[in-house]
Amino acid sequence: MQKKISNRISELGEFGLISRIAAGVAPAEGVITGIGDDAAVTALTAGMQLLTSTDMLLEEVHFRRTWHDPFRLGRKSLAVSISDIAAMGGIPRWALLSLALPADLPLDYLDSFTHGFLAMAAEHGVALIGGDTCASRSGLIISVTIMAEQFPERIIRRSTARPGDDIWVTGTLGDAALGLSLLEKKLPIPPGEGRGEGAFDSLVNRLLDPTPRTAAGITLAESGLISGMIDISDGLLADFGHIAEMSGVGGRLELDALPVSAAFRSLAGSLADFPQHCLLSGGEDYELAFTAPEANREKIAVLMKNSGIPVTPVGIVTSSPDVTVVLSDGSCWQPQPPGFNHFT
């Protein structure tokens, strides 16, 4: 008699589901008790403080199953939380994963999601130590909590930028927003793309599979060269705006200094009505924005070059509380108070 094989979540039950997820989890440093008891038990490195952050991702609000394959969705579910840790200079360690699953979700969807989540975890030194599972009557719901650690004097906050500091960003901006615009416009995938390394794929992948800047965050935090940091999830204007508000400062950003990718350059003009909008206010790039004394400019450039992490100075912190943008013609533009309202 053949063993019956479950193909749906509903046939597996809660404990079968937990076992299935736990099967891919390896023993990890600092994990005293992982999945399976009332609470997980972990040990922090002596002298370090605990950093924690949590994110909730809802189907049809934060992602669409028609756009997002389960492997990359699993990766991104953890990546967005790791990015918050990178923004503080933390060393990511452990994660909790809660899933509310539609009862008719195919098991291979769950398996692929889990593989993606655990692949992202392995790439950033994170161990899955617990979570919760339940049935959802309204789409897939994902909640991730990340725990990290760092020595107190190395943790970088939003509230410590100073007037006269340089404003820097890692990587390139606007790619994820342009990727979203490609998906929204339902453009046909160009010949030779969809599976390859062309501009189209590269932009869409920035949206669907972002890479948190863990190494950059830790390197910058440990260098002692920077004054404030945040991750760019809602666009540079909004996120630098948080640094400005919490530090009691403002800033002047140079539009022409903002770093763009080759893919962005080749497609932005024809695809986005306002490419500058993608650069300044496009969400989900998960790059870091940080501030540092002008005196450290060269040291930062050398350190990051040696670390293989692209960084670009894009403006200056001002004592006036406004955030302004210097346009290509030298004129100044002052945006409305930034901030993305998730409720409208």
For CA atoms 268, 270, 272, 277, the dihedral sign is positive
- Looking at 35, 55, 181, 317, which residue binds its own copies (CB under 8 A)? 55
CB of 141 or CB of 173, closer to its own copies? 141
Binding to its own copies (CB under 8 A) within 113-132 occurs at 129-132
CB of 141 or CB of 317, closer to its own copies? 141
CB of 56 or CB of 302, closer to its own copies? 56
Q: Shortest approach of its own copies to residue 130 CB, angstroms? A: 7
If you search the block for the tokens 């002596």, which residue do you land on? 46
Tokens describing residue 42: 């972990």
| DSSP notation for 172-221 | -SSHHHHHHHHHHTTPPPPTT-SSSSSHHHHHHHHHHS----HHHHHHHH
Q: Shortest approach of its own copies to residue 146 CB, angstroms? A: 8
Q: Shortest approach of its own copies to residue 334 CB, angstroms? A: 20
Q: Shortest approach of its own copies to residue 50 CB, angstroms? A: 5
Q: Which of 310, 338, 296, 301 is nearest to 162 (CA)?
A: 296
Is 13 a binder of its own copies (CB under 8 A)? yes
Stretch that binds its own copies, among 84-92, 170-178, 182-190, 308-316 (CB under 8 A): 84-92
Stretch that binds its own copies, among 39-47, 114-122, 171-179, 278-286 (CB under 8 A): 39-47
Amino acid making up residue 2: Q
CB of 132 or CB of 294, closer to its own copies? 132
Q: How far apart are CA 249 and CA 244, in angstroms?
A: 5
Binding to its own copies (CB under 8 A) within 141-200 occurs at 141, 143, 145-148, 152, 155, 157-159
Is 61 a binder of its own copies (CB under 8 A)? yes
Q: Are 167 and 316 in contact (CB under 8 A)?
A: yes
Query: DSSP label at 266?
Result: H
Query: DSSP label at 106?
Result: B
Site map for its own copies, 230-269, x if CB under 8 A?
A: xx--------------x-----------------------
Is 211 a binder of its own copies (CB under 8 A)? no
How many amino acids of this chain bind its own copies (CB under 8 A)?
72
Q: Shortest approach of its own copies to residue 222 CB, angstroms? A: 16
Stretch that binds its own copies, among 185-193, 207-215, 252-260, 333-341 (CB under 8 A): 333-341
Cα→Cα distances 30→85, 87, 91, 131, 297, Å: 18, 22, 13, 17, 37
- Looking at 25, 28, 58, 107, which residue binds its own copies (CB under 8 A)? 58
Cα→Cα distances 126→90, 145, 208, 330, Å: 12, 11, 20, 45
Q: How far apart are CA 142 and CA 272, in angstroms?
A: 31
Q: Which residues pair with 170 in a beta bridge?
A: 311
CB of 7 or CB of 10, closer to its own copies? 10
CB of 69 or CB of 151, closer to its own copies? 151
Q: Shortest approach of its own copies to residue 343 CB, angstroms? A: 5
- Looking at 56, 122, 187, 215, which residue binds its own copies (CB under 8 A)? 56
Stretch that binds its own copies, among 12-20, 218-226, 275-283, 302-310 (CB under 8 A): 12-20
Q: Are 253 and 240 in contact (CB under 8 A)?
A: yes
With the CA atoms of 21, 26, 27 and 33 taken in that order, what torsion angle do they form, in degrees rounded to the nearest 10?
Answer: 0
Measured N-to-C along each axis, helices 70-86 and 214-223 cross at an angle, to the nearest 10 degrees, of 10
Cα→Cα distances 156→17, 98, 227, 270, 313, Å: 38, 28, 7, 39, 18
